[in-house]
Structure formats: structure tokens, C-alpha cells
Amino acid sequence: MPATRDDLFARFKALGLDTTTRDHAPVYTVEEAQALRGEIPGGHCKNLFLKDDKGNIWLIVCLEEAQVDLKAAPAKIGSRRLSFGKAELLKEVLGVEPGSVTPFGLINDTEKRVNVVLDAAMMAHELVNYHPLENTATTTIRSADLVTFIRSCGHEPKVVAVA
């Protein structure tokens, strides 16, 4: 059973991480999120759930306005040719539905199948924003605390200028 939003918040608390969450109507695109978010501080982000041609899984986390060239990304991140992962794989590995992709889903990757890439421009922001496992809210976290959370899930993120 995938972790719930409450499980995620309990992990944050156990790690001593300070976060703020704002509920809103469900959003499925960057444009919908921009229209609903109001004045939430920090970098607003998108997440690309990808698979390479050898079956390795990648999560690229970047600012919402970032342009990620999937043909150029393999040379930057050390992967093979990339394509988007299927919804079934997303649910299996990160425990979330399309439209709710988030680095917080790594709480569900107990087999440590995902290679995590954090875009350097995003990490330059003190505060960053992601869905808390569902697209009906936005959680603000310090970028340094995001790394702490990811490491607590057993992953070592690469910080790379992907965009």
C-alpha cells in the first residue's frame, strides 16, 4: 500500500523538516497550477518520470518553466535514451497517479529503482514546491530539506544543470 499524505507529513516531522501545505482544486498541468496557486513563495516545479531504453527509471525534478530536451538529457545525467514512463509503472514505483508526480513519491520507492536528478537552477531557490502525493495541494519545503528527505528514502540525488 503506497504511503498517504499523512504518512508523508509524519516523515517530514520525524526528520524535523519544516513544510507548509496549501490545499487547492486538483491540477494536472503547469498552466492549471499557475492559475490556482496564488502567492505561494518559492520555485514552482515539475517532475518528469522517465525510463531509459535499458529499463532504468529516472525522475527529473526542475522548475516549471524549464525546457528539458530529452535527446540531450542522457549526456547530462548519465542515462541511455529516455522516454516517458507509463502510468502503471508510475503507480507501481512512486505510488502516485499522472498529474501528481512528485519527488515526495520516493517515499514509496522502497526498492530504490528511481535515479533522482534535481536541476541545479531549481536547487538555487531556498524554497521549492511539490504535490504531497496528490494534486489537490502544494507543499513548500526548503531545497536543502528536499535533499534530506530524498536521502531518507535511500536515494542520492544528482544535482545537474538539465534544463
pLDDT block averages, 10 residues each, the chain of length 163: 96 98 84 75 94 97 96 97 98 96 98 98 98 95 98 98 94
DSSP string, 76-110: HHT-SSEEEPPHHHHHHHH---TT---GGGGGG-T
- Predicted local confidence at residue 36, as pLDDT: 67
- Predicted local confidence at residue 28, as pLDDT: 76
C-alpha–C-alpha distance, residues 16 and 83, integer Å: 36
Spell out the domain ranges in the chain: 5-160
- Predicted local confidence at residue 120, as pLDDT: 98
Question: What CATH class is the domain 5-160?
Answer: alpha beta
Residues forming beta bridges with residue 127, ordered by sequence position:
142
